[in-house]
Structures are given as structure tokens and as C-alpha cells.
């Protein structure tokens, strides 16, 4: 299982929120480039970047930072999400060194947008599946839809996506463990890769996800910043069968 460190950007800083609440942020670094360099030096194969300002405002805000990271580390895998809601910004990222982009809100509002992206960039689009109490939330997690999580998975299951990133919002930033049951439910209903996100706080959580042999990857941010474990330790646990 791949261990994917997260760098969430707000106001050009590396931050973590609690349950997506923009009023409950902790700043961990003012230098995203340095943080990314550190993760790569510790063995990360991929880094997960989120434009929190973009997710809230509905348009990309921190694209310059992400493109700088891509040009600085051309041999590394970088995936970006947050505020990608038009073709122009999607192309800007995917044509300039970003390996994959994550689409959440626009996938709910306009399925034809995913059709277009998958035609242009097959296997480079990740679908952000952000839910709370089994229902999808959009627009920076501020709007709750009536769409059930598994219904969204089934809607896009046959698309040439790079996979799904599942976040249980109630777990995000809480350091209480991922929603293993819901994550496995999604993985059992798709042939596409599933990446777990939210709640990882200790190596035991990574071990539990790894042992299922159904989860492609796990995103972790706060636990690394808080030094609950090292990235090297997490990668080693993720390799075990």
C-alpha cells in the first residue's frame, strides 16, 4: 500500500484543518517546497497537494506553488486537488508536470466534465469522494448533497479514472483512525484503485488498511506533522503483506 503525505495549502502556508473547518487551522510550515523536499527525501513516491483556498473559493488560488513544486521535482509523482472546476486549470496542471488531479465538486455538478477530462487525460483523474454520514459534501465540504457515497462510486465506476480518494470528513484531522468499514465498502464496489484519507494517527491504522489488501494507498498529513510516526516507518508498514 502506498503512503502518500499530504500538503494542504492555505494562504501559502502548510496547514491542517479539523473536519475541514477553516476556522480550526494549524500552520505547520510557511515553506511548502521545503516540506515536499523533506517528504521525498524520506521516501515518498507521491505527494498529495490540496488548494484549500481554491476549494473554498471555487477556483485555483495556489497554482503557482503547485507548478513550482512540479518543476522542482520533475521525477516525482504529484497529485493536486482543490478548486479545479474548469478545463483551463485542469489543462494547466496536467500539461505542466502535475501527474494527477482530483475532482470533487465539479464531478457532482457536471458529470460531462469528467467525460471530457477522461477523454483528454485517461487514468490521470482522481475522483474526490468526500462524505459525512454516508452523504457526499462539496464546495470545500460546506455543502451537503443527497448523493450517497456508493451511488457516486457506481456512477463513475466504468470511467478510465486513476481511482477514488475517499475521505470520511468526520475523521479528518481528528487523529481517531480512518473509517475502515466505509473504505472497504467502497473498495469492494469498484475495480479502480481506492486511496484512504482522514483520521490516520498511528502505525496500527496503516497496518489495518494494509492488511485488507484492497486499499491502494493512504494519505496522511497531521500524524506526520505531529510526529506520531515517521514517513519511513509508515512506508515500511505499508509494504508488509
- Distance, CA of 108 to CA of 163 (rounded, Å): 16
Sign of the C-alpha dihedral, residues 194, 73, 49, 235?
A: positive
Which residues make Cβ contacts (< 8 Å) with residue 21, sequence separation at least 6? none
Query: In this structure, are residues 171 and 178 in contact, taking their beta carbons and an 8 Å threshold?
Result: yes
Active-site residue identified among 8, 51, 53, 172: 8
Q: Where are the beta strands (DSSP E) in 153-235?
A: 163-168, 194-197, 217-220
Closest CA to 187 of 211, 218, 139, 153: 153
Three-state SS for 92-115 is HHHCCCCCEEEECHHHHHCHHHHH
Active-site residue identified among 51, 53, 130, 172: 130
Pairing of the two strands 163-168 and 2-10: unpaired
33-36 long-range contacts, CB within 8 A, separation 24+: 33/65, 33/68, 33/69, 33/72, 35/7, 36/7, 36/69, 36/72, 36/73
**Does the active-site annotation cover 119?**
no
Catalytic residue annotation: 8, 130
Amino acid at each position: 500500500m502506498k503512503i502518500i503525505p499530504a500538503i494542504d495549502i492555505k494562504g501559502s502556508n502548510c496547514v491542517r484543518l479539523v473536519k475541514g473547518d477553516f476556522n480550526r487551522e494549524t500552520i505547520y510550515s510557511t515553506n511548502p517546497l521545503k516540506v515536499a523536499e523533506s517528504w521525498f527525501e524520506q521516501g515518498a513516491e507521491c505527494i498529495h497537494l490540496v488548494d484549500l483556498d481554491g476549494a473554498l473559493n471555487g477556483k485555483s488560488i495556489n497554482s503557482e506553488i503547485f507548478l513550482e513544486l512540479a518543476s522542482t521535482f520533475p521525477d516525482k509523482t504529484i497529485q493536486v486537488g482543490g478548486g479545479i472546476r474548469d478545463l483551463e486549470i485542469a489543462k494547466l496542471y496536467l500539461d505542466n508536470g502535475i501527474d494527477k488531479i482530483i475532482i470533487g465538486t465539479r464531478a457532482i455538478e457536471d458529470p460531462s466534465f469528467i467525460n471530457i477530462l477522461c477523454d483528454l487525460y485517461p487514468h490521470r483523474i482522481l475522483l474526490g469522494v468526500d462524505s459525512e454520514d454516508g452523504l457526499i459534501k462539496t464546495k470545500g465540504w460546506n455543502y451537503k448533497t443527497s448523493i450517497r457515497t456508493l451511488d457516486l462510486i457506481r456512477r463513475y465506476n466504468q470511467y478510465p479514472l486513476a481511482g477514488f480518494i475517499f475521505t470520511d470528513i468526520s475523521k479528518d484531522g481528528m487523529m481517531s483512525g480512518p473509517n475502515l468499514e466505509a473504505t472497504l465498502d467502497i473498495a469492494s464496489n469498484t475495480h479502480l484503485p481506492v486511496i484512504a484519507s482522514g483520521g490516520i494517527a498511528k502505525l496500527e491504522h496503516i497496518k489495518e488498511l494494509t492488511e485488507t489488501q484492497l486499499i491502494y494507498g493512504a494519505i496522511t498529513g497531521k500524524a506526520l506533522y505531529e510526529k506520531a510516526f515517521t514517513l519511513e516507518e509508515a512506508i515500511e508498514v505499508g509494504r508488509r503483506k
